[in-house]
Amino acid sequence: MRTNRLLPLAAAAALVLPACGGGESVDTGGGGGGGGDNTLIAAVSAEPDQFDPHVTNAYASFQVLENVYDTLVVPSAEDLTMQPSLAESWTTSPDQLTWTFTLRDGVTFHDGSEFDSADVVYSYRRIIDEDLSNAYRFATVADVQAPDPRTVVITVTRPTPNLLELIGSFKGMAIVSENAAEEFDLQSEANGTGPFQLESSDANGTVLTAYEDYWGGAPTIDGVEFRYITEASSALTALRNGEVQWTDNVPPQNVADLEGDEEVELGSVTSVEYFYMSMNYQVPPFDNRDVRRAIATAIDRDEVTQAARFGAAQTNQTAIPEGSPYYLDYAPFTPDQDAARRLIEQAGVQTPLTMGLMVTDEYPETVAAAQVIASQLEPIGIDVEIQEEDFATWLDRQSQGDFDAFMLSWIGNIDPADFYENQHLSTGGSNYQKYSNPQVDDLLTRAATEVDPTARKDLYDQAARIIVDDVSYLYLYNPDEVQAWVPGLTGYQVRADAAINFETVELP
Amino acid sequence: MTQLPTPGATPAAPPPSEPLPTAAPPRPRWRETLGLLARNPTAAVSAVVLVLIVLMAVFDETLAPDGPNDQDPSLQLQPPSWDHPFGTDEFGRDILSRVVLGAATSLRVGFLSVAFALVVGTLIGLLAGFYGRWVDDTLMRLMDVLFAFPAVLLAIAIVAIRGAGPANAILAIGIVYVPIFARVTRASVLGVREEVYVRASRSVGASDWRLITRHVLPNAAPPIIVQTSISLAFAVLAEAALSFLGLGPRRPNPSWGLMLADGRGFIDQAWWYTVFPGLAIVVTVLCFNLLGDGLRDVLDPRQRTLMAGGGR
C-alpha cells in the first residue's frame, strides 16, 4: 500500500467526526492494529481475476472494486436512478450535445493526492484510447475536456440521454488518479477515492481497510476481508458459526429454510438480470412467427421459476423488472397448451418436430429450466433435445449461429438501451438469433436520441411490445438477488444491480 | 433355496454361453458349477438380487409408477412417502421411477461395454497366448500402453474426444477393459497351451482353429468368466462416474450417476435425492463383485493368484 505524509493528521481529525454521529463507533481506530473485531468478513464465491477496473469483466473483481473506486455519478440503492458522486452537479446544453459536470471539492485519492478534472479526463481517455472493454460506452462521445480543475465537459456527436447511465452504472467506469497506470500496478494495486483502500490480496482473500479521509465520511468499520468460499453450503455454515458476517453465496433452494432461521438474516431484491430463451430465425421452423408464438404460449413461467429458482424470481414476459422506472406491464401470453397446439397447426408445421435447446452448466439454472421447458413442449409435439455444453463451446456455437434455440441471461443494468439495443437491432452485436424488424430498428434508434423521458419510455415500450409479440426473445424471469448476513449487522442494503457496498455497514 | 439361483445364474453371467457349450464335458461341469454356487450363500444372494435388477431394467416401463419426466411443481423435493417411496426431486419427479428407469441405462452400458471388452480382449489374449513370440510381444505391448492410463481417466479422455453420449460411454468403458481381458486370457492360455491333451491333439494333426476352440478356450475360460462378473461391477461404476461428470446420457434421461450429480446441490434439504440412486449403484456393484468372488471360488481355486493382477 502507498503511504503518505498527510494521512496521520487527517486520520486524527476524522476520529472526531464519527464520534459525534453515532455512539457505537467511538472506539473506531483506537486499537491501531486494524483488522480487529470491527472488520467485516464477507464470504464471496469467486476470486477476483485482477483489480484494474477498466480492464476486468469479472463480477468477483467488481464486488471488491465497488468499495474502492468511485464514478462521477452512481445508481441509487433504491431505484437505480443516477445520483451525484464525484460529480456534484451537471448541466446539458440546449442542443443536448454538451454535458458539463461540476466536480466535488475536497476529494482525495488513497495516496493523498487531490482529485480534479485531469483525473477524469485521464480515466476516460484511457478507456477510449486503449479501446478497453467498456470503450463502447463512449460510442457517442466526441471529446472529454477539463477547462478548469473543477469542471469536466463531455461533448457527444448526437443526443445521448443515457450518458449518466453509461458513465456511472458500474465501477468499470471508475475514476483513477492521473497516470495511475504508470505509477501503479493496477492489476494488483488500487488508488481510488472510495471508502476503502485495497490493502492486500492473495489466494485466501482480499483485505480492505477503511479510508479515513473518504469524502463521504469514514466508514464505521475498520475494514473488510473478502474470503473465497465456493461451496454454498460451506459459506452458510461459516455464516452460522460466525466465521463470516455476510455472504452472497445463497443458492435459491436454501432461501425457504433460511427465512425461518434466527441465526441468519436474509436480504432479497428482484435483480436487473433477466433469463430468456432465444430461437434461431435462420433455422426452420423457428423462423415461423406462429411456431415461436406457440412455444411462448405453451411455456408456464411459474413452473419454470419454481424448479429453476425455487420461486426466488419474478416471472416476466418482458426484460425490465417490475420496480424499475422503465418497467412495462405487458404479458400477452397465458400458458395454454390447446391454444399452443392450434397455433402449431395453423403454422402448417409437421409435428413432432425436434428442437435442440442449448444450455450450459456454468449457469445451472438454465439446465433446470430447460428440463421444465422440455416437459411443457412435449404435449404440443415439440421434442426438446437438451444440449448441455461447457461455456466456451456454448459461446462458440452461439456466435456461429449453430443452434435451434438457447437459454441464458443478460444483466440489463439500468437504462432500457442496455436491455434492447444490442440484442434486437438488426445490426445489434448480440443479435445471435438474427431478428430483423424495421419497425423495431426505427423505434430503438429514435429512442436512443429522444431526450424527453416520457417520450423515450414510450418509444422503448412500443419496441418492447413488438419484440415480445414476435418472440425475438422469449423472456422468462428476473431472478432475486439474495444475500445473507448475521443478525444485528446494519446499514447494508441489497441492490438490484447486485453491486455490493459496505460503506455504511455497522457490525453488531 | 438351493434351486432358486440356478436360473438366475444364466442372465447374471451370460458370456459363458460362448465358450461353455463347446467345452469338452459341458453338461456335468455346468451343473456342478451352479450347484456349488448355490451352496455359497453370498454368491447365491448376489445372483438373486442381480436377477431382480435385470428384470427391473427389462420391465422398467411397466414397473415404474410414473414416467421418468412426469413433472409436478407442487411436489418439489418431497420426502419419501407412500405415494413416492423414494421422495421427489426438484421437478417433482418420482425418484423411485427414475431409479427403476435408470437401471436400464446403467446395465445397458455395463453389459455392452463388457461384452465389447470380452470379445476383443479375449481374442487378443488368445492370439497372444497361443502364438507367442512376436504376436505376443506386439499385442501385449499395445495392451500395456492402454493399461498405463488410469481407467476412468482413459474413459473420460475417449468421451472427451468422441463427444458425450451413451454410445461413446459404452465404447470408452469397453476400450478401457480390453487390456484386462487380454491379460487374463493370455495368462490362462499360457497355462493350458502346453498341457498334454493339447500337445496330443496337435501331434495327430489338429488345426490351430480346432485346438483353440476345442481345447484351449474351454479350459482357459474360468478366469475369464470371473473377470466378466468383476468387470461388470466396475463398468456400472464407471458409467455412473461418467454420467456424474456429465459425459453419459443427456438430461432429462434418468441415470443413476446423473441423479447423484443433480442431488448433490440439495443434500442439505433432500437426502433421499442422492441416497437412493447411490444405494442402487452400491447394491449393483457389490452384487457383481460378490458374484465374481463366488464364481472364482467355485470355478478354480488355483486361479486366484493369476486374478489378483487383473482386477481394477
Centre a 10 Å sphere on the Cβ of residue A131 and count the other Cβ atoms it contains.
9
Distance CA A108, CA A115 (A): 5
Looking at residue A453, its amino acid is P
* Structure letter (DSSP) for residue A389: E
Distance CA A313, CA A174 (A): 30
User: What pLDDT, on a 0 to 100 scale, did the predictor assign at position B153?
Assistant: 87
Structural fold of domain A274-480: Dipeptide-binding Protein; domain 3 (3.10.105)
User: Per the CB < 8 Å rule, is A364 touching B267?
Assistant: no
Shortest CA gap A423–chain B (Å): 29
HSE-up (13 A, CA, CB side) for residue B13:
37
Q: Is residue A484 helix, strand or coil? A: strand
User: Per the CB < 8 Å rule, is A310 touching B90?
Assistant: yes
Looking at residue B285, its amino acid is V
SS (H, E, C) chain B: CCCCHHHHHHHHCCHHHCCHHHCCCHHHHHHHHHHHHHCCHHHHHHHHHHHHHHHHHHCHHHHCCCCCCCCCHHHCCCCCCCCCCCCECCCCCEHHHHHHHHHHHHHHHHHHHHHHHHHHHHHHHHHHHHHCHHHHHHHHHHHHHHHCCCHHHHHHHHHHHHCCCHHHHHHHHHHHHHHHHHHHHHHHHHHHHCCHHHHHHHHCCCCHHHHHHHHHHHHHHHHHHHHHHHHHHHHHHHHHHHHHCCCCCCCCCCCHHHHHHHHHCCCCCCHHHHHHHHHHHHHHHHHHHHHHHHHHHHHCHHHHHHHHCCCC
Q: Is residue A483 helix, strand or coil? A: strand
Buried b / exposed e over A456-470, threshold 16 CB at 10 Å, is bbebbbbbbbebbbb
- Enter the C-alpha cell of residue B2: 438351493
Distance CA A51, CA A65 (A): 7
Residue spans of the domains in chain A: they are 69-183, 274-480
Mean pLDDT of all residues belonging to chain B: 83
pLDDT tens for each residue of B124-177: 999 999 998 899 999 999 999 988 888 888 888 888 888 878 888 899 999 999
User: Is pLDDT at B77 greater than 50 in this prediction?
Assistant: yes
Closest C-alpha among A111, A45, A128, A117 to residue A86: A117
Q: At which residue does the C-alpha cell 478366469 appear?
A: B223
SS (H, E, C) A216-258: CCCCCCCEEEEEECCCHHHHHHHHHHCCCCEECCCCHHHHHHH
User: What pLDDT, on a 0 to 100 scale, did the predictor assign at position A459?
Assistant: 96
Q: Judge whether A377 and A474 are in contact, CB under 8 Å.
A: no
Taking each helix axis as running N to C, give the angle between helix B5-12 and helix B41-58, from 0 to 180 degrees, rounded to the nearest 10: 60
Q: Classify residue A362 as exposed, middle or buried by CB count within 10 Å of its CB (0-12, 13-18, 19+).
A: middle
Please give the residue of chain B at the shortest CA–CA distance from A306: B73
Q: What are the pLDDT tens digits along chain A (508 aa)?
A: 333 333 333 333 333 333 333 333 333 333 333 445 799 999 998 888 899 999 987 888 999 999 999 999 999 988 888 999 999 999 999 999 999 999 999 999 999 999 999 999 999 999 999 998 788 889 899 999 999 999 999 999 999 999 999 999 899 999 999 999 999 999 999 999 999 999 999 988 999 999 999 999 999 999 999 999 987 888 888 998 889 999 998 888 888 888 888 889 999 999 999 999 999 999 999 999 999 999 999 999 999 999 999 989 999 999 999 888 899 999 999 999 999 999 999 988 888 899 999 998 878 899 999 999 999 999 999 999 999 988 889 989 999 999 999 999 988 778 899 899 889 999 888 899 999 999 999 999 999 999 999 999 999 999 999 999 999 999 999 999 999 999 999 999 999 988 999 999 999 8
* Residues of A in Cβ contact (< 8 Å) with B91: 307, 368, 371-372, 375
Q: Across the interface, which of B90, B91, B251 has its CB nearest the CB of A388? A: B251
Residues 6+ apart with CB under 8 A from B89: B77, B95, B98, B259, B262, B263, B266, B270, B273
Centre a 10 Å sphere on the Cβ of residue A389 and count the other Cβ atoms it contains.
20
Distance CA A109, CA A120 (A): 13
pLDDT tens for each residue of B17-26: 444 444 444 4
Distance CA B289, CA B46 (A): 9
User: Per the CB < 8 Å rule, is A257 touching B90?
Assistant: no
**Chain A interface, best mutation among B66, B69, B70, B71, by max A CB count within 10 A:** B71
User: Is pLDDT at B198 greater than 90 in this prediction?
Assistant: no
Q: Judge whether A139 and A61 are in contact, CB under 8 Å.
A: no
**Under an 8 Å CB criterion, which residues of A touch B?**
233, 251, 253-254, 257, 302-303, 306-307, 310, 361, 364, 367-368, 370-372, 374-375, 378, 385-388
**Chain B interface, best mutation among A236, A299, A303, by max B CB count within 10 A:** A303
Please give the residue of chain B at the shortest CA–CA distance from A302: B73
Structural fold of domain A69-183: Dipeptide-binding Protein; domain 1 (3.90.76)
* Residues of A in Cβ contact (< 8 Å) with B90: 253, 307, 310, 368
What distances in angstroms separate CA A434 from CA A212, A399, A422, A443, B188, one per listed residue? Answer: 52, 11, 11, 18, 64
Please give the residue of chain B at the shortest CA–CA distance from A375: B69
Set out the domains of chain B in order of their start, with CATH numbers. Answer: 40-60+84-308 (1.10.3720.10)
Q: Judge whether A76 and A261 are in contact, CB under 8 Å.
A: no
Distance CA A210, CA A78 (A): 24
Distance CA A71, CA A176 (A): 9
pTM (whole model) above 0.90: no
Confidence of residue B29 (pLDDT cuts 50, 70, 90): low
User: Per the CB < 8 Å rule, is A253 touching B69?
Assistant: no
β-partners of residue A226 are: A42, A206
User: Per the CB < 8 Å rule, is A307 touching B90?
Assistant: yes
Q: At which residue does the C-alpha cell 425475438 appear?
A: A472
Centre a 10 Å sphere on the Cβ of residue A236 and count the other Cβ atoms it contains.
25
Mean pLDDT of B216-240: 90
User: What pLDDT, on a 0 to 100 scale, did the predictor assign at position A36?
Assistant: 54
Q: Classify residue A354 as exposed, middle or buried by CB count within 10 Å of its CB (0-12, 13-18, 19+).
A: exposed
User: Is pLDDT at B30 greater than 90 in this prediction?
Assistant: no
User: What pLDDT, on a 0 to 100 scale, did the predictor assign at position B252?
Assistant: 87
Distance CA A66, CA A154 (A): 24
* Residues of B in Cβ contact (< 8 Å) with A306: 73, 76
User: Per the CB < 8 Å rule, is B266 touching A253?
Assistant: yes
Please indicate if any CB of chain A lies within 8 Å of the CB of B265: yes
Instruction: Mark which residues 87-126 of B lie under 8 Å from A by CB.
Output: 90-92
What distances in angstroms separate CA A11 from CA A6, A17, A32, A38, B176, one per listed residue? Answer: 9, 10, 11, 17, 68
* Structure letter (DSSP) for residue A492: -
- Enter the C-alpha cell of residue A350: 409437421
Please indicate if any CB of chain A lies within 8 Å of the CB of B271: no
